[in-house]
Amino acid sequence: MRAALLLTRRAVVSGRGLRAAAPRQLWRCLTQTTAPGAQEKRDILKASVPHVASLGWCDDALAAGARDLGLSAAAQGQVTNGAVDLVAFVAQEQCEKLREEIDDAAQELAALDDWRDRLKLAIAKRLELSKPFHAHRAQAMGLMVTPLARDDGAVPPADPPPAFDVLHRLVDELARATVVHEEALDMPEWRLRRAAAGVAYALCEVRALTDDSEDLGKSLKVAAEVVDRFGDASEGPAALKQGLKAGAHAAASLGTAALSFLPGPAVGALPQLLDVFASRLSGGLEDVFELSLKKALKALPESPVPAPPGRAASPEPEPEPAPEPSAK
């Protein structure tokens, strides 16, 4: 058991996976363009994306992207965390695309009376963006949920898994879709909607690991069932509790079978570890997942209530000044 935990926390996937020495803020590293070599790194990542369909999330895709730019394959070394950076780069691009789509759908969202329906529509849009990479979904998720190894050999690693930064940004975008004009939205209600977005989409992704249905309908059904169980903040703590229990039940129903699809030594022991933890709790696997969901939500940084979706109206052109009367 202890060996399995150490393996999980120290795992490094060679060539086709993780590398050591991860930066603390993965998302920030991908968005900074002023550091030396940062723009070339982003260029390599962007050029590598078309190769994911045939090669997967791996160093080979990065090498192919570097060659497309006329660089040597060794230039991929600028991508510090290898395939992890590539997955995070695509997640960042998709998050920006999702923001645009939510803004474009502002009127459609506002026409829905229930915030839960708005959230379900936003989740469907996000899942649609992931379809081109569906064949390699398990590989991407395995990379993102595995804590990165560190040069100092710290156990457990001080940094959270790369998925945490990505999920934080995504949760805000999904929950923003639920905000409409003239709605008195306070912080408790905003926190509740962020919680619903995070729990529902995370479970949607797990279900998608084994979803062979058309348009990933089974995954969307899981998300919808969880979202519908969340109440309104006016109902008090029960609003969140009902949603968390629904999420835990859905996760337990999926069982550890879906998690066994995750590649890499760091997650290979996860199903067995969950079974061990479940045997120690009266509620079994549902209790394990409910505790995990609560802990994850508490760890999410706070964010302010955003403005409703929609594009700012173009400013009206200033009237041209009247021509001065000609001097006689």
173-203 pLDDT, tens per residue?
999 999 998 888 899 999 999 999 999 998 9
pTM: 0.79
Rounded Cα distance between 57 and 140, Å, is: 6
- Which of 193, 201, 191, 54 is CA-nearest to residue 114? 193
pLDDT score recorded for residue 214: 84
Residues of the chain under the 70 pLDDT cut: 1-36, 148-160, 255-283, 285, 312-328
Tokens of 122: 């936003």
Q: How many residues does the chain have?
A: 328
Rounded Cα distance between 12 and 54, Å, is: 23
Q: For the chain, how big is the Rg over CA atoms in Å?
A: 22
Our measurement of the distance from residue 296's CA atom to the centroid of its chain's CA atoms, rounded to an integer in Å, reads 13
81, 167, 201 from 194: Cα distances, Å:
29, 11, 11
* Burial class for 137, CB neighbours closer than 10 Å (0-12, 13-18, 19+): buried
Rounded Cα distance between 148 and 75, Å, is: 22
